[in-house]
Structure 1
Amino acid sequence: MSELQSQFEQAQTDVTKLSERPGNLTLLRLYALFKQATEGDAGGDKPGLTDIVGRYKHDAWAALKGTSQDTAKTQYVELVESLKAGAE
């Protein structure tokens, strides 16, 4: 397993142990980075008008189109580390 993959998996564990829940925009960024890191570019249909949360999630993920999975993992790890340090 690569060093980056180990850091990414540790960040996934660490994010569940944060002392404070991140704000909605930060949670959306974490979601989008995680999806890009694990699945690559967003695919499938955009959720319907009645699924507002789903649309926001899809849009945030789609905004990362073209970002490599390794870059997304690195950004995810960096974001989790900044949250652990108390910055948001």
Structure 2
Amino acid sequence: MADAESTGNAAFVKASQDVNNLTTKPSNEELLELYALFKQGIFGDNDTPAPGMFEFKAKAKYNAWREKAGMSKAEAQEKYIAYANSLIEKYK
């Protein structure tokens, strides 16, 4: 299983750690965007099987990640860093 540290991108690793220390929880939409960019930045395109129809949370996460299809890992990491930093500023 890959993680942020295995990417070799120190800024990506730092952003993924810093965003976990927010004093206020981001909205569900913000969390989905973070999730999707993180997964795309680590794994690339989502090729996992779709969750069941009544697995609403899993389906939302699956769809958010699928929307990033075609984005390179490097681009997703850069977007993740920028987005995480904007949330850090917003919720610090």
SS for the counterpart of 1:14 is helix
Summarize the alignment of residues 9-20 of structure 1 with structure 2, pairs less than 5 Å apart.
9-20=13-24
**Paired position in structure 1 for 2:71:** 67
TM-score, length basis structure 2: 0.87
SS for the counterpart of 2:63 is helix
Residue by residue over 1:14-67, the C-alpha shift from the partner in whole angstroms, topping out at 9 and shown as x without a partner, is: 011112110000000000000000000001211011111111111000000000
Query: Percent identity, aligned pairs only?
Result: 35
Ranges in structure 1 where 5+ consecutive residues have no aligned partner: none
**Counterpart pick for 1:31 among 29, 32, 35:** 35
SS for the counterpart of 2:90 is coil
Q: Tell me by how many angstroms 1:86 deviates.
A: 1.2
CA distance in 2, matches of 1:60, 1:19: 24
Compute the RMSD of aligned alpha carbons.
1.3
Report the count of equivalent residues: 84
Residue 10 (structure 2) pairs with residue 6 (structure 1): yes
Residue 46 (structure 2) pairs with residue 42 (structure 1): yes
TM-score, length basis structure 1: 0.91
Large movers: runs of 4+ above 2 Å: none
SS for the counterpart of 2:21 is coil
